[in-house]
């Protein structure tokens, strides 16, 4: 059975258009509630959200749907996605529900779910929900209706959890840090985490109005953070996205560090303290320079499909702990069950403090390979894999690159485009090879 509503990270879309409409969301809450109650008399879920104005509508519709199926809801308001995963586990609940469209602009929104263990749910669970959506509603009677209440200390619980993921003696005193919360879910808790660990915190992107999430701030718009770090003469800047599950960092010189580089720092810090790192998981887009740097340290890198869900699946299958994407979704599974921008930033700052070196120094000798990405528009009925000229050109390019670069060709999942990416130690070579492949693809 193919999934109709669930994508790679829950259900997402433009508010007011199917499926992000009040009627569907009520049905969704009811269907999820029925699936939960198949093997238990009662069930409890926690609902968290980001700061989009549509969150009110979606929260109300889901709450009504859960109540109609006899499921109790705990509401915690705006809070990071990973906080919901933590609360589901810490409060021994049956499900965590997040209302967010992550880094998307405010007209979009979505819903994703975490298990009682704070983990992403498998495809089989999503298929069960979709099946329940196609069945007639089975409203419980008044005696069996679910109840709702608010958790007043959700933010405080999560702050303490984040602080508990680093060494008890870690202090950020003497360090000035700019926190950019993207006017999103982390706007309250993120500055407090770093402040309570001793940092001098300057907060930006902490004035949400329901419409400005990710608008010119946050991990998808790092210029604001670079400017703020310079203006306040800060040591570091930390940018989260709208639901605070990913980050990028900036140093006092204005250099931006992406997820690939931060993952390397996290791994190197483990190795420096005598810990064993059996391997790490990146994606098809992970920069080759990181793979080679890890190889020099005897840490293999395995590439998963693009998406933190697939990184998590690969880590779980191999029983490894560390992985991530260049976009800033980073996983440290001995710290949390899901990607967490705040916890990942703490791991990086702990490496800085423990080593006595700057972030730039920790990455000395690791220079990201230049990448050239060209989008080639194709006719909808074209099978690019049958293009013999492209196949031959790809073989020739890979021979020319040898061990100093790589090629990635993949179809867009949303447009009739072929994405041609070449990565090489030399920028001119990357560009020239990508152009060769693009010509072959368009022929």
Q: Any idea which residues carry the catalytic annotation?
A: 102
Walk across the sheet containing 71-78 and list its strands.
Answer: 11-14, 108-114, 95-99, 43-49, 71-78, 148-150
- Work out whether strand 301-304 and strand 176-180 pair parallel, antiparallel, or are unpaired: unpaired
Q: Which residues contact 305 (CB under 8 A, 6 or more apart)?
A: 283, 284
Record the tokens describing residue 293, joined without a space.
Answer: 């740097």
Quote the DSSP letter at residue 210.
S
Report CA-CA distances (Å) from 94 to 43, 161, 366.
6, 20, 43
Helix (H), strand (E) counts: the chain: 14, 18
Bridge partners, 75 (sequence order): 47, 150
Give me the phi and psi of 44, to 5 degrees please.
-130, 135
Q: How far apart are CA 236 and CA 52, in angstroms?
A: 28
Is the bond preceding 434 in cis, omega lying within 30 degrees of 0? no
Beta strands in 82-183 (DSSP E): 95-99, 108-114, 148-150, 176-180
Report CA-CA distances (Å) from 97 to 41, 48, 102, 149, 212.
20, 6, 14, 15, 23
């Amino acid at each position: 059975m193919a999934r109709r509503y669930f994508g790679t990270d829950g259900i997402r879309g433009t508010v007011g258009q199917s499926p992000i409409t009040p009627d569907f969301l009520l049905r969704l809450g009811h269907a999820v509630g029925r699936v939960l109650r198949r093997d238990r008399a009662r069930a409890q879920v926690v609902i968290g959200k980001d700061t989009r104005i549509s969150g009110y509508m979606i929260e109300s519709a889901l709450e009504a749907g859960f109540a109609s199926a006899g499921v109790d809801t705990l509401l915690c308001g705006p809070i990071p996605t990973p906080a919901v995963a933590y609360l589901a586990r810490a409060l021994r609940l049956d499900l965590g529900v997040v209302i967010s469209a992550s880094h998307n602009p405010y007209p979009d929104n979505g819903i994703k779910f975490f298990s009682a263990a704070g983990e992403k749910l498998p495809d089989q669970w999503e298929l069960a929900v979709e099946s329940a959506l196609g069945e007639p509603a089975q409203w419980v009677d008044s005696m069996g209706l679910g109840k709702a209440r608010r958790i007043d200390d959700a933010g405080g619980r999560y702050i303490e959890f984040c602080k508990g993921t680093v060494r008890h003696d870690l202090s950020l005193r003497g360090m000035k840090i700019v926190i950019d919360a993207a006017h999103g879910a982390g706007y309250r808790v993120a500055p407090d985490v770093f402040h309570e660990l001793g940092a001098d915190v300057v907060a930006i992107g902490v004035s949400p109005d329901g419409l400005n999430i990710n608008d010119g701030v946050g991990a998808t718009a790092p210029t604001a953070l670079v400017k703020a770090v310079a203006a306040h003469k800060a040591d570091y800047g930390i940018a989260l996205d709208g639901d605070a599950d990913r980050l990028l960092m900036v140093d006092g010189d204005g250099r931006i560090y992406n997820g690939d580089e931060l993952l390397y720092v996290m791994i190197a810090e483990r190795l420096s303290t005598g810990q064993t790192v059996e391997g790490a998981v990146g994606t098809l887009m992970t920069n080759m320079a990181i793979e080679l740097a890890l190889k020099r340290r005897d840490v293999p890198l395995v590439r998963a499909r693009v998406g933190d869900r697939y990184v998590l699946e690969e880590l779980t299958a191999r029983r490894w702990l560390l992985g991530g994407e260049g976009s800033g979704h980073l996983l440290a599974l001995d710290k949390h069950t899901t990607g967490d921008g705040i916890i990942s930033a703490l791991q990086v700052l702990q490496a800085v403090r423990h080593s006595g070196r700057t972030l730039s120094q920790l990455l000395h000798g690791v220079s990201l390979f230049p990448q050239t990405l060209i989008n080639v528009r194709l006719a909808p009925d074209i099978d690019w894999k049958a293009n013999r000229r492209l196949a031959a050109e790809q073989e020739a390019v890979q021979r020319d690159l040898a061990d100093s670069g790589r090629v990635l060709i993949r179809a867009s999942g949303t447009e009739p485009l072929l994405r041609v990416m070449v990565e090489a130690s030399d920028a001119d070579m990357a560009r020239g090879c990508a152009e060769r492949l693009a010509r072959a693809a368009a022929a």
